[in-house]
Amino acid sequence: MFKGLAVKNLKGRPVRTAVLVILTVLLSVTVFAGTVIVQSLRSGLDSLGSRLGADIMVVPREATSKKSFENMILQGSTGYFYMNSSVAEKVERTEGIGDLSEQFFLASTSASCCSVSVQIIGFDPETDFAVTPWIKKSFGRELEKFEVVVGNDLNAFVGDELSFYGTKVTVAAKLERTGTSYDTAVFANEETIKELIRSSIDRGMNDFTDVDPDRAVSCILINTAEGYTPEEVANDINIHNTKVRAVRTQELISGVSDSLGGVSKIVGILIAAVWVLGAVILLLTFTMSSHERRKEFAVLRVVGASRGKLAGIVFREALITCLLGGVVGIAVGLLLLLPFSGLIEQLLSLPYLMPGAGRIVLCALAAVAATAAAGAIAAAISAHRITGQDTGAILRGDN
Amino acid sequence: MELIAKDLTKEFIRESKGTNRFVAVDKAELTLTGGETAVLFGRSGSGKTTLLNMLAGLLTPTSGSVTLDGQDIYSLSDRELSRLRNQSIGVIPQGQTAIHSLTVLENVLLPFTLYNDLTDDACAYAAELLERLDIAHLAAAKPSELSGGELKRMAIARAAVRRPQLLLADEPTGDLDDENTREVLTFLKELAASGSAVFIVTHENDAADYADRALRMNKGVLTEAEKQ
């Protein structure tokens, strides 16, 4: 029953216990959800880095000045732009290029898979080194003409037929989730996307009315050759080609990384602030409660409780409260994070990929540990005060 | 059982009053043996409760010693002294001293459950005590449902449940009517008859009729008093 005394004390003061549990739930939710969000942003950024898959991306200069390229890559907004293949050929003659592959972009009007416009990305299977290795994870063979693979967030499945600008394509595979703008994109080989670009022009639905699909390139992906740095090669391209802009992917990611650093810092400060606030409120609550119950603690001393036993009772109450609040907080956190991850991604406008189950479990354990630590600190201070009190004086009502 | 208090002194610091040091108990000498009942009279603030708390091991004296069967209780560690108090010293504190989240029976059994050594015999004796003190019907009640007198009798049962060698009672009849006062004093006398040393701090003059010895405390000085 001694061990049950802590439980009975908690049950005997339901309002106080409920307030403590709610407080620890808030503490646990904040630490857990905050940590998972920061982890998701980091995973999203890592995923973006590996998905971009090239050292340098070369796009028409106007695409970078309008920010449409950056928004396309980072925020998932749709867009397309073209440069003439002669411009591309000139770029391709730059010294220091190792791997090189061209990509072709198109944005659809609404398709059967989607209520909004989707980004269509075409690649050259002969030279591609960025998209193909990733697609191969979900799809064993090469894409045929009029076959596409779709991002994980699109409402289309293998075997579905989609129509873009009146041209029908078949979904050959669905990709695994990346947490990046690629989750809402459609991928096709060069042959297929050129047909789609042609259809869009024929229907008068392409902003670039005078573009020749056979001579249009949207983006050139470059991996530098050994002995050259991406910075050198990108500078060389930018100096000698005024119509294009070479962007280092690291530069692109570092922008996001800076934003992520800012968000992480804010979330970190928020977590720390809530933790400190929670610990202080727990301390105040435990101290107030201990003061209110000082006569009960004095009685326990009278019947033979050592200072250690008194501290044990306070610690047990704190531990039960914090564990209960911590676990409920994790459950609430999961209920918020899992169904609303899309909304969180939209609000943050940053790559966002939920970590795996193992890492989520670690975050949960860390949140429960942080909550328990706050409770333990509050309980330790409270226990120190209780055990230092003069039992005789309390029983006489002097204290 | 023999309790000896020697040169027992307690000083407090009172910064709000003119003098800094206040002697609550001044070189008290006291010997109590098993089977003996002693009552201590004195005005409020004369140092009675301070003396009782020092005898119980609850208040470290400024100087002097308290020995129980030759063992200086203040030479023990907090853990050892707590265990000794749990096993051998029953204390009935002043005022209401219930644990509010426990029932009356659970409060009475607290000295056992605190050390996880509750036995059937202990439960049977607790039930007997509740019966003897006329609160058996309240065994399952929470302290908030009890009157002041009932709470006091619960505290007496709790102090007696381990059949302590030494029972220290601070105003045990404070909240009781005349009939219950007589009942409680008779009960304490019976405890002494069963071998315990009983020390009662009281304002109740009639308590002397139930005691073997009467003591008086005046401004911290303990003296033997004549039984009236």
Domain residue limits, chain B: 2-225
Same domain, A121 and A195: yes
Same domain, A351 and A262: yes
Contacts of B58 in chain A (CB under 8 A): 301-302, 391-392, 395
Task: Express each pLDDT in A88-143 by its tens digit.
Answer: 888 888 999 998 999 998 888 755 566 667 889 999 988 888 778 777 777 778 88
pLDDT at A1: 46
Rounded average pLDDT over B14-21: 68
Interface contact B49-A295, CB threshold 8 A? no
Whether residue B97 contacts residue B155, with contact meaning beta carbons closer than 8 Å, is answered with yes
Closest chain A C-alpha to B226 CA, distance in angstroms: 28
Higher pLDDT, B154 or A37: B154
Tokens of B112: 């056992």
Largest pairwise CA distance in chain A: 98
- Nearest-Cα residue of chain B relative to residue A10: B101
Would the CA dihedral through B221, B222, B226, B228 be positive or negative?
positive
Fold of B2-225: Rossmann fold (3.40.50)
Residues in contact with A73: Cβ distance below 8 Å, sequence separation at least 6, in sequence order: A48, A52, A181, A252
- Nearest-Cα residue of chain B relative to residue A297: B99
* Confidence band, pLDDT 50/70/90 cuts, at residue B196: very high
Mean pLDDT is lowest, of A93-102, B56-65, B84-93, for A93-102
- Whole-complex ipTM: 0.93
Distance of CA B102 to the CA centre of its chain: 21
Number of folded domains that form chain A:
2
- Nearest-Cα residue of chain B relative to residue A6: B101
pLDDT at A112: 59
Which of A249, A264, A297 is the last residue before a domain boundary?
A249
* Confidence band, pLDDT 50/70/90 cuts, at residue B82: very high
Same domain, A228 and A369: no
Mean pLDDT is lowest, of A172-186, B178-192, B194-208, for A172-186
Interface contact A296-B110, CB threshold 8 A? no
- Ranges in chain A, pLDDT < 50: 1, 399
pLDDT at A339: 87
Tokens of A13: 């003061």
* Confidence band, pLDDT 50/70/90 cuts, at residue B135: very high
Same domain, A205 and A306: no
DSSP-derived secondary structure letter, A144: P
Rounded average pLDDT over B47-68: 95
Task: Express each pLDDT in A156-198 by its tens digit.
Answer: 889 999 888 888 999 998 888 777 777 888 999 999 999 999 8
Same domain, A24 and A56: no
Rounded average pLDDT over B204-228: 89
Interface contact B95-A395, CB threshold 8 A? yes
Residue found by looking up tokens 């610690």 in the block: A315
pLDDT exceeds 50 at position B10: yes
Same domain, A62 and A40: no
Residue A384 belongs to what domain range? 2-46+256-396
Tokens of A240: 């000698």
pLDDT at A178: 77
- Strands A161-164 and A167-174: what pairing? antiparallel
Which of A249, A264, A286 is the last residue before a domain boundary?
A249
